[in-house]
Amino acid sequence: MGERLAAAYYRRRGCRVLEMNFRTRRGEIDVIAQKGDMLIFAEVKTRDEAAAAQPAEAVTAQKRRRIVLAAQGYLLLHPELAENFMRFDVVEVTVPRLGTPRLNCIENAFTL
């Protein structure tokens, strides 16, 4: 559910979603989107509203490294995109017991 909501979020902002749940041996990326010359590699974290920690707190240094490695793998498969700018977002999706899920996008959540 979280990945679909994140993809819809990027589309509403004029992005083209290139991949969802892209996997390599090195790691995975939940959503890959493009807006102009910017490639966006997004990690989506979905949590129950009752969870004590913020969803983004689950993106550890090891997880960030795996996302970066997966992004490098994606660019090896798509060399035509290698000259684009890149950013790494974390999209938090909080699901309440009742009502509509809330989405918070942390742009440039981490760098290479």
Write the pLDDT tens digit of every residue in 48-102.
776 656 666 778 889 999 999 999 999 999 999 999 999 999 999 988 888 899 9
Phi, psi of 57 (to 5 degrees): -65, -15
Report the candidate in 108, 103, 88, 82 with the shortest Cα–Cα distance to residue 27.
88
Domain formed by 2-110, architecture: 3-Layer(aba) Sandwich (3.40)
Report the candidate in 52, 47, 63, 60 with the shortest Cα–Cα distance to residue 103.
47
Going by the DSSP 8-state scheme, the letter that residue 74 receives in this structure is H
pTM of the predicted model over 0.85 = yes
Cα distance between residue 35 and residue 29, in whole Å: 17
Q: What is the pLDDT of residues 14-31, one digit of tens each?
A: 999 999 999 999 899 999
- Domain segments of the chain: what residues? 2-110
